[in-house]
A and B are shown apart, each in its own frame.
Chain A
């Protein structure tokens, strides 16, 4: 009874987008209340839909419910639809996206209060963004998903460049925002081209883009496996762009030029999760080949590690969080990759234990996705609260804020503990499950040893995560008040602290859902014949996870590493008994330079786009000048030259004209005579 109204979930924010755009100026706070109402209504409907979906037995058998209308037809037997497709994954995505959006919109009311007339633009764009996010979650086919995917890309571009016209910190910052927006748009575009190509491959192979028809075991079995691998890899290319994975990761740190609420909403909690969602959604395709899943895992593990290293010595509070977002997204892909790798091997060998272990990886990835959405949104909103109070993003100018901003300080500590994987916080459960799955994957298959390396990277990443998060917290909240801290005018307004409190409750508690049936709802089940995939077909392991996690020595290893990292951060940045400067060789050491220069990724981008772009541009320029212009100029020259030449015949001498006339008449006459002579008088 509620599921039929799923289409309202993305539609309500869309209506708010139009309403804020048209009449936002006349409502208080530039349309903030409209946007909040839209998001809250979507959230309520999402909850109702999810409640009905999870409780009604009618939906459990196929594991999904879908409805669609015909959108358009392509000659050749392709029909494209528009509709919704609800399963556990869509429910999870829809729930946390709409819930966090509502909180962030409420927070925005306080954070964007001083932006004046530009607030209307802000609330219109975030509403449109929410349409994209929720639409993506409930789409019933790849094309519809792609449309919403692109709407999000557009909103991301618009909101990163929110201050590109006039920045509170001056013109340089405004230019910076503009170029960051362009960079984000162009880099993700590279991925989107891959994704589109992937969709063409899927359409060509399956003859349809509808999830129900593509994720059908018989259909997958009938398709050429090489095309399937190609399509999966191309789709994953789009994921790499959207979720900022290696090597397209460099746009996300720059995207922090947007307002902090945008960073929290789009570049931490929701849009960048779209890639994770897509991989989880396309599991039936990806898990057909272990190579594809191995690739996913490697990309994830490498990103997790590299992004974490770059966060170690950054001084910008938002940049640190951006790198940690990248790193945590890497964890999700690592989990999904390792799980899918096990499932692919299990399908090959027919081993049900492997499939069950792989399903645990899927659960770990999804749980980490939801956990991360909560604690990273919390951390970003806390950093926004700090920036709002002190007016700078440079952590060296902060410090000692704990006394002035108690709520922000405590909630941020909770977020930091959660992301660091401190025992019994949300992040702890999902991180341990991820590491466990990767460890498990390393025991199987010919390429299993690669997962051993990835596991090591992930453990080191966990250590670094704890270190840089607490480095950030100590630099911001403890120690002597910095230059900017003195201007701090106390705690942020209640519209900002209330969302922090709610989110920190989730950052502590959401991880416990794994003990109370999260895995049953989100696990992917694999059944014959030809291996049908069903989301939400698993059995709840419940408290068995406790013995799983705490029965393993590796868990204690990571806990020890996390505590050690927190301790080191305490010594270096709180007690200051260890000089942090000793490790960077006065800013001269190779590693320090590598990290501040982001492992030379920006230079690499510049070089590639410069060399490649310049080469291509020169080729195009040559074709334009020589071929296109050549044709046009040649034609005009031929006409002009020919005219010149024929013009010479016009002497102006009347007698020569007469000669021409007479000669013509004589010629015609001779012709007539000849005709008469040869053909006779029969004409």
Chain B
């Protein structure tokens, strides 16, 4: 059931500028007066919506990624989670066309190197006779998370709000969680952190997973610092097709920024499913099957 503009149930839509732009242009980009120094103009124009409602055209080369961090909790507070919340994600496979905006915005916000992806977009095919489809794959934040069970020092932990986070200040880098996760959702920081100077002086928080610490494990965190401020995760904001819905299981509501649904109705009416349920991990990511697709499957330049 669509409930467009239902403000009372759409706390997540209060994330202002970034969400609107992200929906329009695909990645959380902010054109600025403020173009990146030394970056050449590409010749490709892109339309943007300004804060005062005007549509302007700018060169792609003038765009600058702006990851925002919304006062994340640190230390003990970051281990508790938000009270009375249980975060959940719904991914509509019929809409994904591998634009990879989710991947790139996530990489930018989480200080990842180009080869590192917390959010992956996989090319899937259920049988040889069925059409392939694109599948965005974040961490599933399982209720019975194997990674939490195997971590010898509780660097990986489950919060009251359902999120599974990694505390890099505690991680010993044994990589057991990476081997144990049935969804291969984890990434090891083998190399020196990317864009190190940009994050210097910033307090580390498991809610933002930055600044990255070499020799430790990282993964998709559902951007709890943004959720703490009623904002959507970077990937959901960035997706130009509205593939990714984020919400609260307890409120039975998910939104992708411009559509809001009851979670229970989506699950029932669109036959939502969770991945590899036989492992008993109880993931908190639901998939809407790749049926009635908006776009036919296409190999993209990103694939």
Q: Do A and B come from one complex?
A: no
Residues of A within 8 A of B (CB): none
